[in-house]
Amino acid sequence: MNRWLPNSWASYSVNNFKSGATSHQVGLNGTALVDNNLSYSLQQSFNNQGAANSSMLSSTYQGGYGTISGGYNYSNDSRQLNFGLQGGVLAHENGITFSQPLGDTVVLVKAVGAKNVRIQNNTGVTTDWRGYAVVPYANSYQENRVAIDTQSLGADTDIAESVLNVVPTRGAIVRASFNARTGMRALLRLLYRGEPVPFGATLKQSDNNNFSIVGENGQVYLSGMQEKQLLEVSWNGNTCKASVALPSDRKEMIINKDVFCN
């Protein structure tokens, strides 16, 4: 059924009984949304010789804060509606994080500032508004790959490394910490006494521990920049400082700017 409805499939079956009764069942199943975290199933049965027909609709949504399921069943003499909500709550040193139902061994993802970011190979698992998420099932005593889906990063968010490996023991809760930077992006040309800062100089941003290497012609690319920030550049025993002011209305584009340090 992909040609008409992505990630879906149809089914049909027929049963014929010696009494002459015949029943037909038609079904449609599939998944939807970006992460395929919505699954659905529709079933309809038809019977001859006056037997009751029936219909069934059910769906399950796996989200970052839990799993929601619902269904509706119909026949000639009955109606049934069901609803379910499952989830987990993990308390840790940085607060409380809601999640899908928890398994025996879990991974706490920490990517402060990177909100609504998907975790690869874990349907529906996304970071919350603070940048935390829970991978509800992990393999004990084995290397577990925890990867950020970089396609889901916001335009003002960058991340130093997108993949971490953790090896939890049975029943453990392990942390996978990602260094996320949220703010503006800038391509700066650093000048010292009218000349470009030499290639290979190191640059440190005042509000974090992120270091960058200056390229040719004094150019350096920085992410996670704030509107006003102090930079410290070092090379061959020399150190200079520069104050950078960036326009607040251009957070979704790279800003080119000459910076003079002293």
Dihedrals φ, ψ of 218, to 5°? Answer: 75, 15
Same domain, 140 and 166: yes
Same domain, 95 and 166: yes
Q: What would the pLDDT profile of 61-73 be if each residue is shown by its tens digit?
A: 999 999 999 999 9
Q: Is the distance from CB of 45 to CB of 54 less than 8 angstroms?
A: yes
| Confidence (pLDDT) at 132 | 97
Least confident of 95-99, 167-171, 229-233, 254-258: 254-258
**How many domains is the chain built from?**
3
Residue of higher predicted confidence among 132 and 182: 132
- pLDDT over threshold 80, residue 254: no
| Confidence (pLDDT) at 160 | 81
Span 72-82, average pLDDT: 90
Q: Is the distance from CB of 175 to CB of 138 less than 8 angstroms?
A: no
Chosen domain end from 86, 103, 130:
86
Which range marks the domain in which residue 73 is found?
A: 8-86
Would the pTM count as exceeding 0.85?
A: no
Instruction: Give the closest residue to 31 by CA, choosing from 117, 114, 100, 124.
Output: 124
